[in-house]
Amino acid sequence: MNIVVCVKHVPDAQSERGFNEDNTTDRDGVDGLLSELDEYAVEQALQIAEAGEGEVTVLTVGPADAADAVKKSLQMGADKGVHVSDEAIAGSDAPATSLILAEAIKKVGSPDLVITGMASTDGTMGVVPAMLAERLGLPQVTYASELTVEDGVATIRRDGDTASETIQASLPALVSVTDQINEPRYPSFKGIMAAKKKPVEEWALADLGVDAGQVGLANAWTAVEQTTKRPPREQGTIVTDEGDGGTKLAEFLTTHKFV
Amino acid sequence: MAEVLVLVDHANGEVKKPAAEMLTLARRLGEPSAVFIGPGAETAKDLLARYGAEKIYSVSDPAALESLVAPQAEVLAQLVQEKQPAAVLIPSNSGGKEIGARLAVKTESGLITDAEDVQAGDSGPVTLQSVFAGSYTVNAKVTKGTPIICVKPNSATPEQAAGAGAFEELSVSISDEAKAARITASEPRKSSGRPELAEAAIVVSGGRGTGGDFSPVESFADSLGAAVGASRAAVDAGWYPHSSQVGQTGKQVSPQLYVAAGISGAIQHRAGMQTSKTIVAINKDEEAPIFELVDFGVVGDLFQVLPQATEAVKGK
Ligand SMILES: Cc1cc2nc3c(=O)[nH]c(=O)nc-3n(C[C@H](O)[C@H](O)[C@H](O)COP(=O)(O)OP(=O)(O)OC[C@H]3O[C@@H](n4cnc5c(N)ncnc54)[C@H](O)[C@@H]3O)c2cc1C
Ligand SMILES: Cc1cc2nc3c(=O)[nH]c(=O)nc-3n(C[C@H](O)[C@H](O)[C@H](O)COP(=O)(O)OP(=O)(O)OC[C@H]3O[C@@H](n4cnc5c(N)ncnc54)[C@H](O)[C@@H]3O)c2cc1C
């Protein structure tokens, strides 16, 4: 079983995030890390590989420091890493990102499973998994809160608004996982040491046969025209309950016509 | 005027509120055409026409819904090719965004998700999005292909405008590839009878501070006709279903009023509610970060405050 996990390097959500003058994400001002939601994808791949035979390759597309997302995944236990980096990629939109990921996955080989997170914690679009499935011609089974792989079939559980569903697809398939699926492990000291010896491939666009004119800010199919920092919400009235907190709350709601 | 395709969100023919909102937005961009996939279009017809649908394209083949999103993307791709619409509007929920994703790749078109407003611009629609947990707003547009825009619920006030509602049953061929992932079992969730979380005008949420007893939260919600939400801590503890989770990995809500009871206000929770028009919190801890956001806050025990507020609201 060969598994490719897509992991994104993102600005830390705990710090002040912002934009550069060209409306791309400011990555310099903030610490980057492995998108928290991709840890669940890595963990799931490791569990499947550990239960049988398998190799887990982690793949990231991003600037130089995106190598950290690969490193963290290797420390958790993934076998090898791929980092696609190229000046021309900067400012890519989701269709371009999925194109690069798809070509990189083809170059890695023909994995039985591609696992992704449900959404990144910066762009938070949640569209790359479906785009990848479309580009690779794979069945998509997304938002898994449970995943089992048996006899060449991936089965997931998905908890939707109106129903809990079971969804099946034959391998090879693409699966995206939610934060309900497992508890990601912390890298152990042994894992951290072992990661140093694990192979990481560095590929540029030319290695993938992707033309620079298909990616990057200038070739994006969408354009951000303006970014505006929202003024912080002004704190309103805070009262301490002295036996009449509920009444005061009801009064506030009445004054503002919610009642 | 060019057509604007609007993918109708419905449950077995019962049209959801965002469809009327999107038809209203579509009128700013061109002539709205509703696209109804699945059984029930006949029942939905009148409502869609009332909100401005000039045409209603219906695909009644149930196979189009059995296999997740891929067949729906194929239907839309076929329509985009035939009609060359000015834009495609799709509900910005998890399924809708995936339909948009596949459609974007198929038609080589740009995609914008989580739009909170759509306006006509000189070179196509201009959208408004909130990003980075609501700390920035962004105006964006599509520069290639047919603008595909996923629109969040509550992005417009539905306005009626009689449309012709010309009904057209489409025959589409859905590829085997699109049917590759199948729903093999479905366990319906019991309906609470309350409004749907993502669409509700008022949401009352409970967190770890409820200690697992959501009854004061539910009673207060019912006094206001509100939906009930929960923090991830409450969901992880098994107190409330995952589908009620508000936040980064749950529902993104943007109601007129959001009430957080026993919720601290972690960044991941704020990512899902920060764009609410009015925010109220009840929390024992006056230092809780949620108070930074509130229009009105009560420092106190939710088990005291909520029942009293519920009685007062009921008395009005
Ligand atoms: C604030 C903001 C708003 C944006 N708005 C738009 C927009 O409206 N339209 C648009 O086309 N683009 C937009 N982008 C750009 C888009 O987010 C990036 O192109 C991004 O790489 C793909 O989308 P996502 O981060 O939302 O990923 P998602 O679709 O949320 O990611 C899902 C999963 O895909 C995988 N994945 C995603 N990116 C990578 C990567 N680089 N390397 C490895 N795995 C990855 C991960 O497993 C991840 O968990 C926006 C970016 C930002 C920061
Ligand atoms: C990848 C990732 C994704 C996440 N996604 C989400 C998400 O989508 N949504 C989400 O909510 N969280 C999410 N989280 C979790 C988030 O970080 C917080 O852990 C969570 O929101 C905390 O929930 P809480 O506020 O209910 O609990 P706590 O932080 O424990 O807060 C409980 C609050 O209740 C108050 N309290 C206690 N008793 C009472 C009482 N009797 N009356 C009044 N107040 C009382 C306390 O003072 C405290 O402020 C995510 C985390 C990660 C890592």
Q: What is the pLDDT of residue B11?
A: 86
In ligand 1, the atom with minimum distance to the C-alpha of A92 is 19
Say whether pLDDT at B1 is over 80: no
**Residues B311, B222: contact at Cβ < 8 Å?**
no
**Which residues in chain A have Cβ-Cβ distances shorter than 8 Å to B144?**
221
Q: Which helix (H) or strand (E) holds B14?
A: strand B14-15
3-class secondary-structure state, position B132: coil
Closest-approaching ligand to the CA atom of B229: 2
Angle ∠(B255,B258,B264) on CA atoms, nearest 5: 140
Q: Compute how many other C-beta atoms are within 10 angstroms of the C-beta atom of residue B303.
A: 17
Pick the most confident of B9-13, B32-36, B197-201: B32-36
The reply to whether omega before A172 is within 30° of 0 (cis) is yes
Reported confidence tier of residue B12, pLDDT bands at 50, 70, 90: confident
Amino acid at the residue A137: G
- Going by the DSSP 8-state scheme, the letter that residue A230 receives in this structure is P
Dist CA A202 CA A123 (whole Å):
24
Q: What is the model's pTM?
A: 0.95
CB of A250 closer than 8 Å to CB of B309: yes
Q: What percent of chain B has pLDDT over 70?
A: 100
The phi and psi torsions of B136 (rounded to 5 degrees) equal -130, 150
**Do residues B178 and B70 lie in contact, with contact meaning Cβ atoms separated by under 8 Å?**
yes
CA-CA-CA-CA torsion sign (B149, B152, B157, B161): positive
pLDDT tens digit sequence for A140-181: 999 999 999 999 999 999 988 888 999 999 999 999 999 999
List, chain by chain if needed, residues with CB within 6 Å of any ligand 1 atom.
A 6-8, 25, 35, 37-38, 41, 59-62, 92-94, 97, 101, 116-117, 119-120, 122-129, 222; B 111-113, 131, 140
Residues A37-86 have pLDDT tens digits of 999 999 999 999 999 888 999 999 999 999 999 999 999 999 999 999 99
What's the pLDDT score for residue B145? 98
Alpha helices in chain A (DSSP H): 36-51, 67-76, 94-108, 128-136, 189-195, 205-208, 245-255
Structural contact between residues B227 and B210, judged by C-beta atoms closer than 8 angstroms: no
| Cα separation, A189 vs B233, whole angstroms | 29
Instruction: Give per-residue pLDDT as tens, A93-124.
Output: 999 999 999 999 999 999 999 999 999 999 99
What average pLDDT does chain A have?
95
What would you report as the CA-atom Rg of chain A, rounded to the nearest whole angstrom? 21
To probe the interface with A, which of B249, B275, B299 has the most A CB atoms within 10 Å?
Answer: B249
pLDDT at position A29 over 80: no
Strands A173-177 and A113-117, how do they pair?
A: parallel
Q: Residue A3 forms beta bridges with which residues?
A: A56, A113
Put simply, the chain B residues between 13 and 32 with a CB less than 8 A from any chain A CB are none
What is the rounded distance in angstroms from the CA atom of residue A220 to the CA atom of residue A214?
8
B20-73 confidence digits (pLDDT tens): 999 999 999 999 999 999 999 999 999 999 999 999 999 998 888 888 899 999
Rounded to 5 degrees, φ, ψ at A212 are -60, -25
pLDDT at site B112: 98
Q: Which residues make Cβ contacts (< 8 Å) with residue B212, sequence separation at least 6?
A: B234, B237, B239
Average pLDDT over residues A229-254: 95
pLDDT tens-digit map of B267-299? 999 999 998 999 999 999 999 999 999 999 999
Please count the helices (runs of H) and the strands (runs of E) in chain A.
Answer: 7, 14
Q: How far apart are CA B145 and CA B139, in angstroms?
A: 18
Q: Which atom of ligand 2 is nearest to the CA of B285?
A: 47
pLDDT at A192: 97
ipTM exceeding cut-off 0.85 for this assembly: yes
> Which of B177, B242, B299 lies nearest to residue A159, judging by beta carbons?
B242
B154: left (phi over 0), alpha (psi -120 to 50) or beta: left
- Over residues B79-135, the pLDDT tens digits come to 999 999 999 999 999 999 999 999 999 999 999 999 999 999 999 999 999 998 888
Residue A169 CA to residue A173 CA, distance in Å, equals 7
Mean per-residue pLDDT of chain B? 95
**Residue B33 class from Cβ within 10 Å (0-12 exposed, 13-18 middle, 19+ buried)?**
buried
Q: Which helix (H) or strand (E) holds A156?
A: strand A153-159
Of the partner residues A162, A246, A258, the one whose CB lies closest to the CB of residue B188: A162
* Mean pLDDT to the nearest integer, B203-231: 98
Contact between B311 and B305 under an 8 Å Cβ cutoff? The reply is: no
Dist. CA A24–CA A43, nearest whole Å: 30
In this prediction, residue B134 carries a pLDDT of 85
pLDDT at residue A17, rounded to an integer = 86
At B278, list the tokens.
Answer: 């009015």
